[in-house]
Amino acid sequence: MDAIARLLRPDSVAVIGASADPTKMTGRPVGYLQKHGFAGAIYPVNPRAASIGELPCYPDVAALPEAPDVGLVLVGPERAEQAVRDLAARGTAAAIVLASGYGEASPDGARRQQALREAAGPMRLLGPNTIGLVNLTDGIMLSATGALEVGELPPGRISLVSQSGGILGSLLSRAADRGIGFAKLVSTGNEGDLDSADLVEHLVEDDATAVIAVYMEGLRRPDAFRRAAQRAAACGKPIVVFKVGRSESGARAASSHTGALAGADRMYDAFFRQLGVIRAETFADLLDIPGALACGRRAAGRRVAVLTSTGGAGTLVADACGLAGFEVPPPDAATVARLAALQEGGQAAADRNPVDVTLAGLQPTLFRTAIDALLDSPGYDALVTIVGSSALAQPDLVADAVVECQARSDKPVLAYVSPHAPHIVRLLNQRGIPAFAAPEACATVLEALQHRPAPDVAESADSRAVPEVALPDLPAGPLNEAESKALFARFGVPVTRESVAADAASAQAAAEALGGRVVLKVLSRRIAHKSDVGGVKVGVPAADIPAACATMLENLRRAGAPEPEGFLVQELVRGSAEVILGFHRDPQLGPAVLLGMGGVAAELFRDTAMRLLPLGRADAEAMLRELKSWPLLDGFRGAPRCDVAALVDAILAFAAMAEALGDRLVEAEINPVFVMPEGQGVRAVDGLAVLA
Amino acid sequence: MDAIARLLRPDSVAVIGASADPTKMTGRPVGYLQKHGFAGAIYPVNPRAASIGELPCYPDVAALPEAPDVGLVLVGPERAEQAVRDLAARGTAAAIVLASGYGEASPDGARRQQALREAAGPMRLLGPNTIGLVNLTDGIMLSATGALEVGELPPGRISLVSQSGGILGSLLSRAADRGIGFAKLVSTGNEGDLDSADLVEHLVEDDATAVIAVYMEGLRRPDAFRRAAQRAAACGKPIVVFKVGRSESGARAASSHTGALAGADRMYDAFFRQLGVIRAETFADLLDIPGALACGRRAAGRRVAVLTSTGGAGTLVADACGLAGFEVPPPDAATVARLAALQEGGQAAADRNPVDVTLAGLQPTLFRTAIDALLDSPGYDALVTIVGSSALAQPDLVADAVVECQARSDKPVLAYVSPHAPHIVRLLNQRGIPAFAAPEACATVLEALQHRPAPDVAESADSRAVPEVALPDLPAGPLNEAESKALFARFGVPVTRESVAADAASAQAAAEALGGRVVLKVLSRRIAHKSDVGGVKVGVPAADIPAACATMLENLRRAGAPEPEGFLVQELVRGSAEVILGFHRDPQLGPAVLLGMGGVAAELFRDTAMRLLPLGRADAEAMLRELKSWPLLDGFRGAPRCDVAALVDAILAFAAMAEALGDRLVEAEINPVFVMPEGQGVRAVDGLAVLA
């Protein structure tokens, strides 16, 4: 067993600083261990107590009868380091340090945290600034969270990794009320050693865990998290992440809370999407989505039946589903016939969805028949049943019917509970029917139930090869336009035909060789925006080149721009559309490619898509379709379709360049890439690169 | 007292079809009236019972000892009409009909509903298909909703108007759990007579009502609702609406639920915005927002202090606020000093926000001092306090502190409750501190607390005068471009200088008169898209006009287009930007003006704004700023600012035309309007109108 396995399922636990006073925070953990039935050895360590309850107390770690699997360190920061050192010396597998006042507090605290890490040596460390962990699979509580005061904590198939201990407690108590069970909950706190990626990696292999929920303030080792997520995708085990720090205020708060670095939130979006990780949008989603995924069912499509005995709530749910892009279609003819047979009173129409069974709702047999009819119908992929106030008195009648009918189908069945009725929500969840008090949650969860492990997660990891291109001794610093485009071209990005000319005469010769009108530019690694200083002229006939060169040099002088290296004479091309390809290095998540539609309006609408490296073909294709102005590439209003395949190749070539150059690439942008009609390719028209 | 007042506060109630069996739906209302302490006379009417409890039962309405203020009709649709007729004959003020099977069910049902309405005569009617009404101000329950089974229903300052009875029950039971009190709740059901607008109008004048919440499936009389909303704005009484039917599925469901017509949801958005009505985005918001508004406080700005004793939850709230566009700035120096004095341990930094008082959270005096410091600080407009698990055992300690400190300030104070703790949420709400279990709700509610009655609500109603323009005998049907623009111009929309020419020779003369190059178009009321048939040429010199005319006629013949009425010779203008002005008549909400930025990209991004008539200057200005591409008008990237004032005038002129023409206006669009640099005006370049 590795250290994390022993941390989560120890045979023996030393509780350093345990208090005999159960009202104190330090008095709780021993009691929690006992109350929830920990079967292993518990060793309280406290020089000022002889015993805690019936357990003998040890004056120090050295006095323990054996090396414990886990040391739960409750003492303050001034004594924690020594405790950790002592535990490591005894050969303890892992220590949990609850104290705060480390990296989250001050630079002094950060130094203390480093010292703590060093004191641990080969021993693994959870925390500091953690609330510990809760293993409900095996009934092992290594935590001081007040949520453990709750009477009954149902074990379940969701495991949680949370950087915040308070959030762990909040989710645990909220889930208990909802009848949602957890397998393991681990608060990683400041992540002085063990971090979210370590825990996710471990939980992917945990048989008791079917879904992994993560509360994230920042990610310390994105590569390790990526590997764990890829493994989870391969196992078909969904990961659901709620990440704070989406706003500047939140990022600042997160960083001062556990010392987590923020990184750009849009990058996290890209990161999660590429890994097939589901991102929870609201805090409630972090329970709702895993709770629904843990039922094990997935929806095969987007057609939802809504069965209600109370019209208003049915409308609410239908509207929420419709807003989220689901269909709520009327039943097919065979289903209408089955439903119509139910409505003896003949009041409600059977050809509508929501299916309103105001009468049947009070008669369990009719209710069952209606559920069966809807689940049997080939026209629906999922069912939402509405629980109205008629169920308040006898919730079991409803629950029995739904549970029984669900068993005869493999489609997901959800419940929306309209009145305030936590006992019904709890009952349904406990019996495997995801139940919600918010209509919008039904739609959110239906979306998550469409989720399949992303196929491109594997592809972007494995099947993509970085081309072997011999890189000459490229100089450090900015390349000029010709050098930049030569670099892009070497990796397979098509660029305009062009020649570098030292003077006006050779520029004219180059223009004659290209034929027709050309684009003339000054060539300079020191001028970032050539147009702004009058250094670009489009559509110049060869005959006019000398005069144009002279004017340009004069323009540069007037603008106080540096002397150029020469001129660039370029073929004149016209694209059907313009895009921008950029490279960005996120301080947290690493290198990324950014794609944007060109033009002023697209900039105003922030119409861009980004993906982290490595980039697979499916990623590049998805980026294009993500653009709101994608129709402009796809043959908008009868215009010819653009050469999308060539553009995808160019994006992949640009990404491959970024990977091959690694840390040497500081900056790169192609602006614009002209995209021609289908079959005619793309052309990088201008661009720059900066190397380290 | 008018009929609605008597309906809500009757001195006597006849319950038609009351059952002696309290387990039946028809057995509930008499019990509810008694249980909640109705002091007036209750007259059960049931030919098959001698008494219900201690109340004597009457065989029919004619046998009642007096004309009741209200008749609560519990019988089915087959007997309800007679009951209504009998009640009307006795002079009853209002009847409530609970039965369903009317307009929501079928065309037959719609006829039954009409007959019911006629049977009521001068008596007012609530329903059919209603769950009735609940008056908590006066303890009068005229409803069968199961929510009245709940032991204690706290009276409060929110009144609810709901088209759905199920939703009324749902909100009532949820609010009771949350400690949120209602004044009156009325379900209008199918609105056979009394509708949402009637009830809102009445509640605006109700002293016990401080906030009006509306659950809306569709609006039958938008003008009446508009008047009620304007009156509410004038009284400073906020209206919060949750409207379903935002999606096609939801609209269909709503329409089959209470027979409400949908109308375009974006139009409702515009309608509510113009009226200063707050639109609830989620169902939970329909309790959260009124609950917070009922506390009576408003935020003077967007700077939020977050006070927490549990870091993770503070981060959650700060992030949610940040995402919603609030600032969560660090405290000012004086406040830092006050906070630092609290932190004897010195662990947490006092210069951060969220303000983390992990220690002080356990010590009420320190907690109070921290709240006071933050409320006193000129740097904050509102405070969110986080309630952590440390408060679970002694919620009163926290509540006392927050309530006391709030009383010393006029800033809004909200609470976010992190663990599952409905008793704390309830306690805080009951004591006037809006409390929430969702971090996002804090941000939503803070936004609502910025709300002030819209100043333009009054303006758009009163100060705007429709110009008196003498309209000649305009023909019915489509106008050609010249006629359309002449019509726009008559109301003050600036149009291009132009002449109508019958033939090529007079077109050439017109071009010479205009000078320079011109735009030549065919003129036809039968060709909608002139460009598509080769009927437009831009930049034609006068000399080329005859040839261009000939080519155009040839183009039209080839395209199979009808013979034109002549030619239009137009000055050639260039705009800095192009916009589109359109007229639209919503089947529910009436005439509206639509503004869009021109160009392909703007169309892809659906960059449009709309407002219903009547339109005030503030509305027109807000429409422009609502466009995502507004920066293009406002001097984007150093470009000259466009003549926004002239564009606003043009929008108002276009709107005034639509008002003046009333039902005669079928269609109108100006596409494009060129907008020149500041001081140079705007010009309608092309357009069409269709008159009835």
pLDDT tens digit sequence for B475-489? 889 999 999 999 999
pLDDT (average), residues B507-522: 94
The helix (run of H) or strand (run of E) holding residue B612 is strand B608-612
pLDDT digits (tens, 9 = 90+) for A519-534: 999 999 988 889 889 9
CA distance B348 to chain A (A): 6
Looking at residues B246-253, what average pLDDT do you find?
Answer: 86
Burial group, residue B210, by CB count within 10 angstroms (0-12, 13-18, 19+): buried
The answer to whether residue B645 neighbours chain A at the CB level (below 8 Å) is no
**Cα–Cα dist B98/B107, whole Å:** 19
Mean pLDDT of B656-663: 93
Mean of pLDDT values over B558-567: 93
Percentage of the residues of chain B whose pLDDT score is greater than 90: 77
How many CA atoms within 13 Å lie on the side-chain side of A154?
Answer: 18
The per-type count for chain A, helices as H runs and strands as E runs, is 24, 30
Residue A347 and residue B632: Cβ atoms within 8 Å? no
Per-residue pLDDT reduced to its tens digit, A480-502:
999 999 999 999 999 999 999 99
For residue B687, pLDDT over 90 is answered with yes
In chain A, the percentage of residues whose pLDDT exceeds 70 is: 94
The reply to whether residue B322 touches residue A246, judged by beta carbons under 8 angstroms, is yes
Cβ atoms of A392 and A399 within 8 Å: the answer is: no
Mean pLDDT lowest among A384-393, B330-339, B491-500: A384-393
Is B104–A145 a contact, with Cβ atoms under 8 angstroms apart? no
Paired sense of beta strands B70-73 and B41-45, if any: unpaired
All residues at 6 or more sequence positions from B291 whose CB lies less than 8 Å from its CB, including other chains:
B158, B175, B178, B180, B429, B434, B445
Whether the pLDDT of residue A260 is over 80: the answer is: no
Please list the alpha-helical segments (H only) found in B19-157. 28-35, 77-90, 107-120
Determine the distance in angstroms separating the CA of A583 from the nearest CA of chain B, rounded to an integer.
24
The pLDDT tens digits for A211-233 are 999 999 989 999 999 999 999 99
Report the pLDDT averaged over residues B606-612. 90
Confidence of residue A516 (pLDDT cuts 50, 70, 90): confident
Average pLDDT, chain A: 91
The CA-CA-CA angle for residues B618, B622, B623, to 5°, reads: 120
Query: Given this model, what pLDDT does residue B350 score?
Result: 80
- Taking only residues 156 to 175 of chain A, the set having a beta carbon closer than 8 angstroms to any beta carbon of chain B reads 162-167, 169-170, 173-174
- Measure Cα distances from A689 to A218, A488, A496, A614 in Å: 30, 9, 16, 19
Cα distances from B236 to residues A90, A346, B223, B239, B457, in angstroms, run 71, 47, 20, 10, 12
B100 → closest Cβ in A244, A347, A392? A347
pLDDT at position A394: 84
Write out chain A residues lying below 8 Å of B164, CB-based: 311-313, 315
Q: Is B451 exposed, middle or buried (0-12, 13-18, 19+ CB in 10 A)?
A: middle
- Kindly determine whether residue A256 and residue B602, on different chains, have CB atoms separated by under 8 Å: no
Which residues 6+ apart lie within 8 Å of A210 measured at CB? A157, A158, A183, A237, A293, A294, A296
Query: How many contacts, defined by CB atoms under 8 Å, are there between A and B?
Result: 260
Strand partners, B688: B669
Residue range B631-636: mean pLDDT, rounded:
89
pLDDT tier for residue A458 given thresholds of 50, 70 and 90? very low
Partner residue facing B319 (CB), from A104, A245, A353: A245
| Among the partner residues A149, A322, A389, nearest to B247 by beta-carbon distance | A322
Q: Which one of B170, B177, B249 has the shortest CB-CB distance to A313?
A: B170
For A602-647, the pLDDT digits (tens) are: 678 888 999 999 898 999 999 999 998 899 899 887 788 999 999 9
* Res B362: pLDDT: 61
Q: Does B660 touch chain A (CB under 8 A)?
A: no
> If pLDDT is split at 50, 70 and 90, which confidence band does A341 have?
confident
Range list of H helices, A491-590: 504-514, 545-558
DSSP string, A584-624: EEETTTEEEEEEEE-SHHHHHTT-EEEEESS--HHHHHHHH
Whether the CB of A613 is below 8 Å from some CB of chain B: the reply is no
What would you measure as the largest C-alpha separation in chain B, in angstroms? Answer: 102
Calculate mean pLDDT across residues B155-173. 96
Contact A605 B629 (CB under 8 A): yes
B241: closest CA of chain A, how far (Å): 14
Q: Does A182 touch chain B (CB under 8 A)?
A: no
Q: pLDDT class for B458, splitting at 50, 70, 90?
A: very low
- Quote ipTM for the complex: 0.92
Determine, for residues B253 and A319 on separate chains, whether the beta-carbon distance falls below 8 Å: yes
- Could you give the CA distance from residue A267 to residue A485 in angstroms, rounded to a whole number? 27
pLDDT band at A356 (very low <50, low <70, confident <90, very high): confident
Note whether B605 contacts A601, CB cutoff 8 Å. Answer: yes
- Mean pLDDT, chain B, whole residue set: 91
- Chain A within 8 Å of B605 (Cβ-Cβ)? yes
Residue B411 has phi, psi (to 5 degrees) of -80, 150
What is the pLDDT at residue B296? 92
Q: Identify which of A246, A257, A315 has the shortest CB distance to residue B257.
A: A315
User: What band does A248 get if pLDDT is binned at 50, 70 and 90?
Assistant: confident
Which distant-in-sequence residues (6+ apart) come within 8 Å of A281 by Cβ?
A444
Determine, for residues A313 and B257 on separate chains, whether the beta-carbon distance falls below 8 Å: no
Nearest chain A Cα to B390, which residue? Answer: A146
Tell whether A282 lies on the interface with B, counting CB pairs under 8 A.
Answer: yes
pTM, two decimal places = 0.93
Q: Do A253 and B358 touch (CB under 8 A)?
A: no
Cis peptide before B128 (omega within 30 of 0): yes
Give the per-residue pLDDT at B462.
46
Residues B271, B388: Cα–Cα separation, whole Å: 41
CA distances from B109 to A454, B86, B88, B255 (A): 51, 21, 21, 14
How close does chain B come to A25, measured CA to CA in Å? 10
pLDDT tens by residue, B36-53: 999 999 999 999 999 999
Percent of chain B with pLDDT over 70: 94
| Shortest CA gap B248–chain A (Å) | 7
* Rounded-to-integer distance, Cα A304 and Cα A381, Å: 6
More confident residue, B135 or A358: B135
Chain B residues touching residue A348 (CB < 8 angstroms): 105
Residue A461 pLDDT grade (very low, low, confident, very high; cuts 50, 70, 90) = very low
Interface test with A, best of B248, B249, B426 (most A CBs within 10 A): B249
Q: What is the pLDDT of residue A342?
A: 79
Band of residue A464 on the pLDDT scale cut at 50, 70, 90: low
DSSP designation for A677 = B
Give the pLDDT confidence score for residue B604 in this predicted structure: 81
**Chain B residues within 8 A of A104 when measuring between CB atoms:** 311
- Does the pLDDT of residue B468 top 90, yes or no? no
CB B56 within 8 A of CB B11: no
Q: Does B327 touch chain A (CB under 8 A)?
A: yes
State whether residue A382 sits within 8 Å of chain B by CB: no
**Class of residue B115 by CB neighbours under 10 A (exposed 0-12, middle 13-18, buried 19+):** middle
pLDDT digits (tens, 9 = 90+) for A7-53: 999 999 999 999 999 888 899 999 999 999 999 999 999 999 999 99
Q: What's the average model confidence in pLDDT over A67-87?
A: 97
Does B419 contact A169 at a Cβ distance shorter than 8 Å?
yes
Is residue A310 predicted with pLDDT exceeding 60? yes
Q: Does B257 have pLDDT greater than 70? A: no
Asked if the model's pLDDT at residue A361 lies above 60, the reply is no
